[in-house]
Structure 1
Amino acid sequence: MFAEDAQPLAAPHEALIRVEAFAPNRGETFLLEDPRPGVVPGKDVAGLVVQAAADGSGPPVGARVVGHPPSGGWAEYAAVPTHSLAVLPDDISAVRAAALPLAGITALRLLRVAGAVTGRRVLLTGASGGVGHYLTELAAAAGADLTAVTATAARGERLRERGAAAVVHAVADAPGPFDLVFESTGGADLPVALSKLVPGGTLIWFGQASRAPVTLNFFDILAGPQRAVIRHFHYAGAPYGEDLNTLVRLVGDGRLHPEIDRVADWSQTAEVLVDLRERRIRGKAVLTTGGVR
């Protein structure tokens, strides 16, 4: 359902972007259960600068950019802080760029938190989403021996191409032990993933895709890997421009490949959101507003 709203007023440190493509994230669909009045969702956008920031920062009018605003991206125009923009080269389309921000930034920052992964055995749950594809490719390129967990073979078919050493369809089937676990599903999967660690191994918990509570039994942990570490991770924290520039450079160099399962006109937003929520989309979905370059 579309609604008319006034064009956003950009703050002095923000550029006004004519949005050509945006990528909804599954977590954003849950915001619609109890929407805040006046708040337009949307964190992943790509388009054209039509009004430069008044404080002189950021790209000029006419620049093609990808951005990660706090909200407001599901619209024809979005005001984006200039510290969270990156200029696009001509060979990266708005569609590919829009698939980068939240998922790509999350993958980059997860790897920074994890430290060196070269030669380490890594388990990644919930691997068939946007973050999972980026994290698989980046970790494999850094030398990790990564096992990806996906619900079905169809959802995980591209992960081997992106560098996964193995793909399994249940955490229990993952042939551990692992030095590091990236855990994003929660529910019953997290305790099983935790049990797969080597002594002194680390589990980084960055999502709750199952939306099911996690129960940890102290005695199970006591009987499991000694000195296991559980770390909570949340990607958020502006500025995002440096990470966006890194992602754009990696895509341009052919070292990172956005996995875009669906591209649709934004008139199909409702259908795409339902499929995203029900996990019927592999990787990312991108919606276009017309006039995409």
Structure 2
Amino acid sequence: MTTYQQLAITRFGEPAVLAMQTQPLPALADDLALLDDQVLVKVVYAGVNPIDAKTRAGLGWAAAQNKDKLPWVPGYDIAGEVVASCEAAGRWSAGDRVSGFIGFPLQGGGYSEYVAVPAEQLSLVPASVPLRQAAALPLAGQTAWQALEKAAVNAGDQVLVLAGAGGVGHLAIQLAVARGAKVFASCSAGNADFVRQLGATALDYRQGPLDVQLKDADVLIDLMGGDVGIGALGCVKAGGRVVTVPTITAEQVCKQARQRGLLAEGMLVTPSVMQNDAMMAMLAAGTLRLHIDAVYPLVDGATAHQAIESGHTRGKIVLAVGGDA
């Protein structure tokens, strides 16, 4: 029986608690243990997201629900090739290049050389889109898309995106610009040119409070939360809209926003193949840019977590799981 490798959270704590583990892979034949509509994917790249690191540290709902199920394999973004599928998953054939936002929020499983995925959770990756980009897109892209929808961003709106150079932020800028909004984004001086190239006006958070640099924004997309998110509320005009993404501080940010007369909501992303397909087409057409900051081997997942926890990554981080394709 063939085996395959996974990177698992062995206990909650620092990045060093991540460890490789070996699992058996059934023969790829009639005895393949796939459920009704599942597809077996050989993972080539897996996206790394802040929620992975928070769960590993024991923070948030996914950690609370999985605390008695360790070791647990994190990872919600994958891209790779179909190896096998059951008859009910007839759309997919061996060799198809696919991407998906999988196992969210309790199953995870993306940090793995192979993963069985419900067929309806997968998108076809166009030939012109590298698999590393396809793996980096789903969670971050759909978070950005849904935050803008929840905030009802329209043409002519002034939109402030916090952490504009980050994984979600750099996609949110582009999607907001595509809606016709005038976009401002907080970032460091070192990321100012990057943010401008995406179509936003860069606001260097080290050059003073954001609410001094910008007034009367219609919308705040808060990707930072906590004191940073609360401090940015002063940038938004009365009656403006706030969507805050970090779930741990959402209640706190929304309470402060409402006291200022703002419309405020927290959000938890919901996987959407339709949105993934749409953004995949944008990547293929060159109308959406996805920046990969670093690629780490699966065995170096702890280093990838250290990088994402630094708060200074530009764009996305991915794990190379099964080689390039």
What is the TM-score of this pair, normalised by structure 2? 0.80
Q: Does the Cα contact within 8 Å between 1:84 and 1:244 map onto a contact in 2?
A: no
Q: Does 1:206 align with 2:245?
A: yes
Query: Secondary structure of 2:22's match?
Result: coil
5 Å-filtered alignment, 1:1-293, equals 1-7=19-25, 9-34=33-58, 36-70=69-103, 71-150=108-187, 152-169=188-205, 170-207=209-246, 214=252, 224=260, 227-236=261-270, 238=271, 240-293=272-325
The 1:266–1:201 alpha-carbon spacing in structure 2 relative to 1, beyond 3 Å, is same
Q: Report the alpha carbon displacement of residue 245 of structure 1 after superposing the two structures with TM.
A: 0.7
Q: Report the alpha carbon displacement of residue 155 of structure 1 after superposing the two structures with TM.
A: 3.8
Q: Does the Cα contact within 8 Å between 1:171 and 1:193 map onto a contact in 2?
A: yes
Query: Secondary structure of 2:168's match?
Result: helix
Which protein is richer in helix relative to its size? 2
Supply the distance in 2 between the matched residues of 1:249 and 1:80 (Cα, whole angstroms).
22
Out of 166-175 and 55-64, give the one that drifted further.
166-175
Out of 252-261 and 34-43, give the one that drifted further.
34-43
Query: Secondary structure of 2:25's match?
Result: coil
Supply the distance in 2 between the matched residues of 1:129 and 1:106 (Cα, whole angstroms).
12
Supply the distance in 1 between the matched residues of 2:213 and 2:265 (Cα, whole angstroms).
21
Q: Does the Cα contact within 8 Å between 1:265 and 1:288 map onto a contact in 2?
A: yes
The 1:180–1:17 alpha-carbon spacing in structure 2 relative to 1, beyond 3 Å, is same
Q: Report the alpha carbon displacement of residue 241 of structure 1 after superposing the two structures with TM.
A: 1.6
Q: Report the alpha carbon displacement of residue 172 of structure 1 after superposing the two structures with TM.
A: 3.4
Q: What 5-or-longer segments of structure 1 have no aligned partner? A: none
Deviations 1:177-228 (A, max 9, x none): 111111121221233222222221111111268x79947887x965x4xx42
Q: Percent identity?
A: 27
The 1:69–1:216 alpha-carbon spacing in structure 2 relative to 1, beyond 3 Å, is closer
The 1:215–1:109 alpha-carbon spacing in structure 2 relative to 1, beyond 3 Å, is closer
Supply the distance in 1 between the matched residues of 2:25 and 2:72 (Cα, whole angstroms).
14
Supply the distance in 2 between the matched residues of 1:157 and 1:54 (Cα, whole angstroms).
50
Supply the distance in 1 between the matched residues of 2:255 and 2:54 (Cα, whole angstroms).
29
Supply the distance in 1 between the matched residues of 2:41 and 2:131 (Cα, whole angstroms).
12
Q: Report the alpha carbon displacement of residue 57 of structure 1 after superposing the two structures with TM.
A: 4.4
Q: Report the alpha carbon displacement of residue 252 of structure 1 after superposing the two structures with TM.
A: 0.5
Q: Does the Cα contact within 8 Å between 1:187 and 1:213 map onto a contact in 2?
A: no
Q: Report the alpha carbon displacement of residue 156 of structure 1 after superposing the two structures with TM.
A: 4.2
Q: Report the alpha carbon displacement of residue 47 of structure 1 after superposing the two structures with TM.
A: 0.3
Amino acid at match of 1:52: S
Deviations 1:41-78 (A, max 9, x none): 11110000001244134422210011111110101001
Out of 153-162 and 253-262, give the one that drifted further.
153-162
Out of 167-176 and 153-162, give the one that drifted further.
167-176
Which protein is richer in strand relative to its size? 2
Q: What 5-or-longer segments of structure 2 have no aligned partner? A: 1-18, 27-32, 59-66
Amino acid at match of 1:195: G
Query: Secondary structure of 1:261's match?
Result: strand
Amino acid at match of 1:66: S
The 1:248–1:215 alpha-carbon spacing in structure 2 relative to 1, beyond 3 Å, is closer
Supply the distance in 2 between the matched residues of 1:10 and 1:154 (Cα, whole angstroms).
48
Q: Report the alpha carbon displacement of residue 283 of structure 1 after superposing the two structures with TM.
A: 1.2
